[in-house]
Amino acid sequence: MEWFKQLKDTDPEIFDAIKSELGRQRDGLEMIPSENFTSIAVMQASGSVLTNKYSEGYPGKRYYGGNQFIDVVESTARERAKKVFGVPYANVQPYSGSPANLAVYMAVCKPGDVIMGQNLSDGGHLTHGFKGSVTGQIFKSVPYHVRPDGYIDLDEVKRLAEENKPVLIWAGITAYTREVPFEEFAKIADSVGAYLAADISHISGLVIGGVHKSPAKYAHIITTTTHKTLRGPRGAMIMVTEKGLQKDPELGEKIDKTIIPGMQGGPHNHTTAGIAIALLEASRPEFKEYAKQIVANSRALAAQLSARGIKLVTGGTDNHMILIDLTPFGKGNGLLVQEALDAAGMTVNKNTIPNDPSSPFYPSGIRLGTPALTTRGMKEGEMKEVGDMIADVISEVKGYQLPGKEERVEYIRKFKGEIASNRRLAEVRSRVLELCKRFPLYPELELP
């Protein structure tokens, strides 16, 4: 593409970094469940002239002139979001998921109000009231947890709601591998008069594809990022359901005002265009098949890992995500396994597990998923191969054990050096490269 030639001529240093990143993505298995590969069309829109325009306000009500075409883009994105999710209201301007969730708080809560969300180490998100997040500092957070089997403890949710009378309850996940029980959450929220907000950032593509229950009938508010299973650019949306408007007919207007002028300035129009394109792609029949394949791949990968003796939180998965429990090999080894898999060409992320005996910085779990692998065209047969490679890497490094705090820095440095020259990991890396060549990424994208 001519644009890339201009980029190379203008800034060869940045060009080389982009080219190297493309090579990394092409030659490795991207398995962080919150990541995916957009279409070329989404990337083209996200790098378009729309980035040049200031558009504070909303379609037909801008603070600046010259927004007649931006209005078309944003209105199109909003209408497509309403259609695919079956809701009457959508705001497509949030810069990312965290500001979108904060906007929900500011629209329905006052500082000091009681809120409830899934505990972070139990699979919830920072913005659902974690103590280290502003959401756990501005509001009185009462977290709920999972049962010993790893499933959400709905009895505890009900008890805590009755005891604390929250204004807002979050039903949403970031490291939970089972279907979110929106209907049960709704009964609890309704019984105490709370707003129910469904954060479907991870599963929005699965909801559209019909392989995860939609929260539209049960929640008052829905938030989602747009770059995970939805396969769009890095942005976010807030939606209000019919149930939400019945509870408060002005809820949509309150959220609009919270975004602008309350929290943000000009929207990222190039991202809005990318969101619109991703929503169009998600409305097509082939996307439903894609969503089904994500889950089929996830279950196949989980089954192979289990067959190889790898312990999984909840024993499996209902969605796109798998959470590996590494405690049979010691505590706090998530970082070591993440580094070893990265050396073998497989990108995952270390993650806490329920009742983790270690810390978030050195957790005892690994989180991985299948959206990006599915985008490349891989299916159940390839998941068996991937599962074997992951198990081989874990087996190779299971003898390592993270030491105490005083010795960790030196131990990790030495560990990285050893795995860089490990013959078994090099052999797995070769298998990864061979698999990637069978499923090329962006073959139409040629950089000079």
What pLDDT, in 10s, does the model give residues 111-149? 999 999 999 999 999 999 999 999 999 999 999 999 999
For residue range 327-377, what is the model confidence (pLDDT) as tens digits?
999 999 999 999 999 999 999 999 999 999 999 899 999 999 999 999 999
- The number of residues in the chain equals 448
From 331, 306, 324, 309, select the one nearest 368 (Cα to Cα): 324
Q: To which H or E segment does residue 115 belong?
A: strand 114-116
State pTM to two decimals: 0.96
Of the candidates 228, 299, 350, 367, the residue annotated as catalytic is: 228
Beta-carbon contacts of 300 under 8 Å, excluding residues fewer than 6 positions away, are 380, 383, 384, 387
Residues 9-26 have a mean pLDDT of: 96
Does the pLDDT of residue 446 top 90, yes or no?
A: no
In the sheet with 168-172, reading across from the earlier edge strand, the strands are 89-91, 236-240, 221-225, 195-199, 168-172, 114-116, 140-141
Of the candidates 54, 151, 411, 442, the residue annotated as catalytic is: 54
From 304, 263, 108, select the one nearest 193 (Cα to Cα): 108
Does the pLDDT of residue 1 top 60, yes or no?
A: no
* Structural domains present in the chain: 45-282 (3.40.640.10), 293-438 (3.90.1150.10)
Residue 324's pLDDT band (cuts 50, 70, 90): very high
For the question of residue 290 being annotated catalytic, the response is no
Tokens of 334: 């998530």
User: Residue 392 in contact with residue 398, Cβ under 8 Å?
Assistant: no
For the question of residue 234 being annotated catalytic, the response is yes
| Burial of residue 297 (number of CB atoms within 10 Å: 0-12, 13-18, 19+) | buried
How many angstroms separate the Cα of 82 from the Cα of each of 88, 89, 241?
Answer: 6, 6, 9
Cα 227 to Cα 176: distance, rounded to the nearest angstrom: 18
For residue range 26-73, what is the model confidence (pLDDT) as tens digits?
999 999 999 999 999 999 999 999 999 999 999 999 999 999 999 999
For the question of residue 352 being annotated catalytic, the response is no
3-state secondary structure of 199: strand
Q: What is the mean pLDDT of the chain?
A: 97
Cα 68 to Cα 323: distance, rounded to the nearest angstrom: 46
From 445, 55, 1, 80, select the one nearest 277 (Cα to Cα): 80
For the question of residue 388 being annotated catalytic, the response is no
Neighbour tally for 241: CB within 10 Å? 25
Residue 448's pLDDT band (cuts 50, 70, 90): confident
From 78, 364, 372, 125, select the one nearest 238 (Cα to Cα): 78
Q: CA angle 319-91-87, nearest 5°?
A: 60
Pairing of strands 61-62, 365-369: unpaired
Q: CA angle 294-308-298, nearest 5°?
A: 5
User: Residue 161 in contact with residue 169, Cβ under 8 Å?
Assistant: yes
Of the candidates 56, 153, 380, 385, the residue annotated as catalytic is: 56
Tokens of 33: 């469940």
For residue range 382-406, what is the model confidence (pLDDT) as tens digits?
999 999 999 999 999 999 999 988 8
E strands, 329-398, are 346-347, 349-351, 365-369
Of the candidates 30, 74, 199, 256, the residue annotated as catalytic is: 199
For tokens 């131990």, name the residue.
411
Of the candidates 38, 127, 225, 241, the residue annotated as catalytic is: 225
Q: What pLDDT sits at residue 11? A: 96
3-state secondary structure of 29: strand
User: Residue 363 in contact with residue 353, Cβ under 8 Å?
Assistant: yes
Cα 101 to Cα 94: distance, rounded to the nearest angstrom: 9
Q: 94-116 burial by CB neighbour count: b if 16+ within 10 A, else e?
A: bbbbbbbbbbbbbbbbeeeebbb
Does the pLDDT of residue 226 top 70, yes or no?
A: yes
User: Residue 58 in contact with residue 256, Cβ under 8 Å?
Assistant: yes
Cα 225 to Cα 203: distance, rounded to the nearest angstrom: 9
Of the candidates 234, 367, 376, 429, the residue annotated as catalytic is: 234
